[in-house]
Structure formats: structure tokens, C-alpha cells
Amino acid sequence: MNHYLDLSDEVQKAFHSQQPVVALESTIISHGMPYPQNVETAREVEQIIRDNGAVPATIAILDGKIKVGLSDEELNELGTRTDIAKASRKDLPYLLANQKSGATTVAATMICAELAGIRLFVTGGIGGVHREAETTMDISADLEELAQSNVGVICAGAKSILDLGLTLEYLETKGVPVIGYQTETLPAFFTRSSPYSVHFRTESPKQIADTLKAKWELGLEGGAVIANPIPENTALDESFINRIIDDAISQAKRRGVTGKDVTPFLLSEVNRQTEGKSLEANISLIKSNAELGARVAVEYYLQ
């Protein structure tokens, strides 16, 4: 696979010196936030990981290469170009074979991280089972990837635009542990809690790292969800955000928005209706996840 992978100097040095490395996705840059907040946040998140003892590896597809670790210029390119594809599992072969560029989703980032030998990955929130999936069959590829790629995903739970109950059922069926960090309930991205319980509660980064190590040493293939609630000072009221999400979903139906366009549409509409509060929350939670992800990576690599 080496001819597809292009590791930055910083990431290569980290591997050679056995430093902990944390993967980051790029869809949040190209499709998740407006410019310039997207690029500013990406740089700040990378620095948080460095400040907590690990090395960041933002992953993207650029000109037919899997870039593991991006320069400032490449981050800016992802944040400003309008022709960057949204790259999931199904898209990777085409983009690589045809020298095209794409921002990696959770699923694609997990694939690329595992290829590069990275065990920990930080994102905002995972995809999941969409509401009314019993008729639309709209289920994120993130869940299937979690079932087969050996990468721990630190996130603020599943996006609150989803059916959280069915998402948890799917993960349980696939044997993917959902580990709460200092919480017994699943965070719902913009909110710290939901009506649903995580599988296990942990109190420290070391406890998370030990759990991941035991999982993979037992030969239990697949990843794990490490659910880290959004910081209290930026969390949104549950009833407030749910009303807005319900309205955004109704608008998506009326406009005929389907498939991979649903999530960007809903997040954009939620940001508009919250007058930017949801964007502030999104930035806050990804920074919090980056700090936890770096701390878990340090503990994991110390073993």
C-alpha cells in the first residue's frame, strides 16, 4: 500500500521515534464548516494534539495520494477549494486511481489511519442510522467501518440529527463497544446527554487505552467509539436543538435532499437557525475531543 500513502515529515518522524500519532478527518474542513473557521479550527485542533504530547495526522486524498499529515498550505487548499469530493469507503478507489482529491469521512479516515498504522482517531461526531431508516435504508458507512477497522474513534457521540437508539443497536449487533468518558449516557453531539446509555463508563484516558489494548490483543477485530460529552459551557439545550433538527429534517424532505447531501444540509440549516451557536458548539467539541484523543494516544503508546 506504500505507493498510495504519502506521510508528512512530522508523521514519519513520529513513527520513527515511536511517538503517539492521532488521526484527524478532513470532511469537517471541506464540508463541515464555513471558511475561514474550518481552516482556523483545523490548525488549532492540530496544535491541541501537539500540546498534549501526540502528533496530529490530518488525512485527505490529494491528487491521487492518501496524505497522512497536511501542511498549512494543504489545509488551506482543503478549506477553500470547491471541487473537493466527500470521500467515503466506496469513493477511495476511484479518487486514487484517477488522481483526484477528496476530504475523508469518518469511514474513509479509519481505513487510511489503519493502513498507516494509526490506532486513535479524533472527529466531531460519528454518522449512524438516519431517522426513518426503516424505509430509506439510510445508514452511514461509519458504522460498518467501526465493525471492521481497528481504530478507536474519539467523538462527541453520534450526531443528534440521527436515530440514536437504532445507531446504538447497530453498533451492539456489530460488537462495537461504545465507551463513555466520564458519562453513562450517550452524548448527542450538541448536547451532553441523551436518553440512551453507553456500554461502559470510563474515568481516565488510561482506562480507555487499556480497554482498547485488551480488545485488539484478544483478536477482536473492529474499532470502538469513545464518547466524550461536549464541554458544559458550549452545550446546547436538548429541547431547543431537537426542535430545530426536526424542522431541518422536514425541510430536507420537502427539498428532496437525499444520500450524502443530507448531513451537510442539516448541519448548515441547524447553524442558520441557531444563529451560529451550533458552529461554536461544533468547534468546542472537536477541540475537547482532540485533547482527550491525544491523552488516550499517549497512554496507549506507553504500553
Q: Going residue by residue through the chain (303 aa), what tens digit of pLDDT does each one get?
A: 579 999 999 999 999 999 999 999 999 999 888 899 999 999 999 999 999 999 999 999 999 999 999 999 999 999 999 999 999 999 999 999 999 999 999 999 999 999 999 999 999 999 999 888 888 788 999 999 999 999 999 999 998 788 999 999 999 999 999 999 999 999 999 999 999 999 999 999 999 999 999 999 999 999 999 999 999 999 999 889 989 989 998 998 899 988 778 877 887 888 889 988 989 999 999 999 999 999 999 999 986
How does 210-247 read in b/e, with b if 16+ C-beta sit within 10 Å?
Answer: ebbeebeeeeeebbbbbbbbbeeebbbebeebbebbee
Q: Is 174 an annotated catalytic residue?
A: no
**pLDDT at position 143, please?**
97
Cis amide bond preceding 36, omega within 30: yes
197 pairs with which residues across the strands? 185
Given the residues 46, 67, 86, 159, select the one marked as catalytic.
159
126 pairs with which residues across the strands? 158
Cα torsion 265, 267, 271, 276 to 10°: value is -130
CA distance 216 to 58: 24
Q: Is 25 an annotated catalytic residue?
A: yes
- Residue ranges and CATH numbers for the domains of the chain are 5-302 (3.40.1790.10)
Q: Count of CB atoms within 10 A of residue 265's CB?
A: 17
CB 119 within 8 A of CB 112: no
Residue type, 260: K
**pLDDT at position 1, please?**
56
Residue type, 86: K
Residue with cell 496530529: 56
**pLDDT at position 299, please?**
98
DSSP secondary structure, the chain, as one string: -TTTEEE-HHHHHHHHTT--EEEE-SHIIIIIS-TTHHHHHHHHHHHHHHHTT-EEEEEEEETTEEEES--HHHHHHHHH-S--EEE-GGGHHHHHHTT--EEE-HHHHHHHHHHHT--EEE-S-B--BBTTHHHH--B-HHHHHHTTS--EEEESBB-TTB-HHHHHHHHHHTT--EEEES-SB--BTTBS--SSB-SEEE-SHHHHHHHHHHHHHTT--S-EEEE-PPPGGGPPPHHHHHHHHHHHHHHHHHHT--GGGHHHHHHHHHHHHTTTHHHHHHHHHHHHHHHHHHHHHHHHHH-
Burial of 150 (0-12, 13-18, 19+ CB in 10 A): middle
- pTM: predicted TM-score of the whole model, two decimal places: 0.93
Residues across the chain: 303
Given the residues 25, 114, 269, 291, select the one marked as catalytic.
25
CA distance 165 to 139: 13
